[in-house]
């Protein structure tokens, strides 16, 4: 996916005071372990947490970035795609990446995503995600190896991607021949529900009122970072088919595109997604549009209610339909103004900072996994302590962890050579 996201992670690193070693998926939108990137620039930055390694290894002139990061708190950014706990349970898929080096570390069954970096001596990793009401998130938390932190990543991305929509004079709503704009590029995986939805449209004779896909092009993944003003200006409503349609809420750029361009919408997403938008200060379209579908927990019934709500709009008398559309556009314009407001930007950035800080405060007093450090040393598959500088590093590790095992604190630790 050739979509610009690099700056987001630089922003996260700066916003969280450069405390963490950051992991994220690259190319963006990928999910395989081989696509998890550990960027050295997030290790080499100067901050107190990086100085932990400098303090412990103060008498070692050279050690590589991989091991330097082993002492640094970790922020794993799983914010672009929905969480998928079971996908990462099979540790063998990591072994090929490391040419079996992974299994020279004690093969903990709760590694999951942590298998990408078995050197880490952190007891917990912070899992930065963008979904709510998630069974997958609970599975990560229940391992005792992850602390979660939520933020709305796609809102920050969309403020960048759709920034020109605030000033775009071509977003002029006209007398439309199609009432509903339905982007439906992919119907595989978590998006299979879209095929069911298209069947419901056809069965209800709604298809002739829908523009399925763009008027102008065949969409690819790169179009996620774009909007088409002609598509938007020539339809009444966007019917947003979100990435997932189960019990979870994971709102992406699909929702943000309608907010940024000022188009009214129906939202096919997890239950209470409209309520989440209200929590962020947006308005939805009740009572002009029946939004009872947002409370429906059964996925198929929720789709049926969305279709029924679309039919209700079509069946309105002409004068009533015109009033409904005018009122919905008035609400959509409010949403556009709010989307580009400093209040909304501050809200989502503060949410990021506050939730990551809260998670970090939970782990800060119990940061290092002392017991597993010793277990790994005793494991017959542990890496050999070579060359000389690495042997020196392990010697310093032993001194540091022996100190922690006796109840010492990081703040009070003084390397033996400085004593």
Cβ atoms < 10 Å from Cβ of 236: 20
Q: Which residues contact 352 (CB under 8 A, 6 or more apart)?
A: 12, 15, 16, 151, 156
Assign a CATH topology to domain 164-341: Rossmann fold (3.40.50)
Rounded CA-CA distance 24/31 in Å is 10
Q: Going by DSSP bridges, is the β-strand pair 125-129/178-182 parallel, antiparallel, or unpaired?
A: unpaired
Strands (E), 187-292: 210-212, 235-241, 265-268
pLDDT score, position 1: 43
pLDDT score, position 384: 61
Which residues share a beta bridge with 75?
22, 126
Low-confidence ranges of the chain (pLDDT < 50): 1, 46, 49, 419
- The 3-state DSSP class for residue 69 equals helix
pLDDT score, position 67: 64
b/e string for 304-331 if b means 16 or more Cβ within 10 A? Answer: bbbbebbeebeeeeeeeeeebbeebbeb
Question: Domain boundaries in the chain?
Answer: 6-123+367-418, 164-341
pLDDT score, position 142: 95
Transcribe 317-364 into DSSP letters. -HHHHHHHHHHHHHHHHHHHHHHTSHHHHHHHHHHHHHHHHHHHHHHG
pLDDT score, position 319: 82
Q: Which long-range contacts (CB under 8 A, 24 or more apart) does 372-377 make?
A: 372/106, 372/108, 372/123, 373/121, 373/397, 373/401, 374/401, 374/405, 375/106, 376/105, 376/106
Q: Token pair of 114, please?
A: 């942590």
Rounded CA-CA distance 147/370 in Å is 18
Is the preceding omega at residue 197 within 30 degrees of 0, hence cis? no
Q: What is the pTM of this model?
A: 0.92
pLDDT score, position 66: 60
Q: Token pair of 282, please?
A: 């947006």
Transcribe 99-142 into DSSP letters. TTGGGGS---TT-GGGGG-TT--BS-EEEEE--BS-HHHHHHHH
pLDDT score, position 53: 65
Rounded CA-CA distance 341/258 in Å is 16
pLDDT tens readout for residues 281-304: 999 999 999 999 999 999 999 999
Half-sphere exposure of residue 296: CA atoms within 13 angstroms, side-chain side: 17
Rounded CA-CA distance 321/336 in Å is 22
Q: Token pair of 99, please?
A: 């040419």
Helices (H), 18-169: 41-44, 48-56, 65-68, 92-95, 135-142, 153-161
């Amino acid at each position: 996916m050739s979509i610009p996201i690099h700056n987001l992670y630089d922003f996260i690193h700066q916003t969280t005071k450069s405390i963490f070693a950051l992991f994220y998926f690259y190319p963006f939108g990928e999910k395989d372990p081989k696509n998890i990137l550990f960027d050295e620039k997030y290790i080499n930055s100067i901050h107190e947490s990086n100085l932990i390694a400098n303090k412990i290894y103060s008498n070692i002139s050279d050690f590589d970035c991989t091991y330097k990061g082993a002492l640094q708190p970790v922020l794993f950014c799983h914010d672009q795609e929905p969480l998928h706990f079971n996908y990462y349970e099979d540790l063998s898929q990591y072994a090929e990446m490391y040419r079996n080096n992974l299994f020279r570390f004690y093969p903990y069954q709760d590694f999951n995503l942590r298998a990408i970096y078995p050197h880490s001596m952190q007891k917990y990793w912070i899992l930065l995600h963008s979904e709510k009401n998630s069974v997958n998130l609970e599975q990560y938390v229940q391992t005792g190896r992850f602390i979660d932190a939520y933020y709305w990543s796609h809102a920050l991305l969309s403020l960048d991607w759709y920034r020109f929509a605030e000033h775009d004079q071509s977003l002029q709503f006209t007398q439309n021949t199609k009432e509903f704009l339905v982007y439906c590029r992919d119907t595989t995986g978590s998006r299979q529900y879209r095929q069911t939805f298209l069947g419901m449209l056809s069965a209800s004779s709604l298809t002739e009122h829908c523009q399925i896909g763009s008027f102008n092009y065949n969409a690819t993944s790169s179009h996620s970072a774009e909007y088409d003003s002609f598509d938007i200006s020539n339809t009444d409503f966007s019917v947003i088919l979100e990435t997932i349609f189960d019990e979870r809420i994971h709102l992406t750029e699909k929702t943000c595109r309608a907010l940024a361009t000022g188009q009214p919408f129906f939202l096919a997403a997890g239950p209470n997604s409209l309520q989440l938008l209200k929590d962020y200060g947006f308005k939805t379209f009740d009572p002009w549009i029946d939004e009872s579908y947002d409370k429906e927990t059964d996925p198929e019934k929720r789709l049926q209610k969305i279709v029924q709500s679309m039919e209700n709009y079509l069946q309105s008398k002409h004068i009533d339909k015109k009033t409904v559309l005018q009122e919905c556009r008035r609400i959509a314009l409010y949403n556009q103004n709010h989307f580009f407001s400093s209040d909304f930007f501050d809200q989502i950035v503060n949410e990021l900072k506050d939730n990551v800080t809260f998670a970090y405060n939970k782990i800060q007093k119990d940061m290092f996994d002392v017991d597993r450090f010793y277990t790994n040393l005793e494991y017959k598959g542990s890496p050999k302590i070579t060359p000389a500088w690495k042997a020196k590093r392990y010697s310093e590790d032993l001194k540091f962890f022996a100190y922690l095992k006796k109840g010492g604190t990081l703040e009070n630790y003084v390397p033996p050579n400085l004593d």
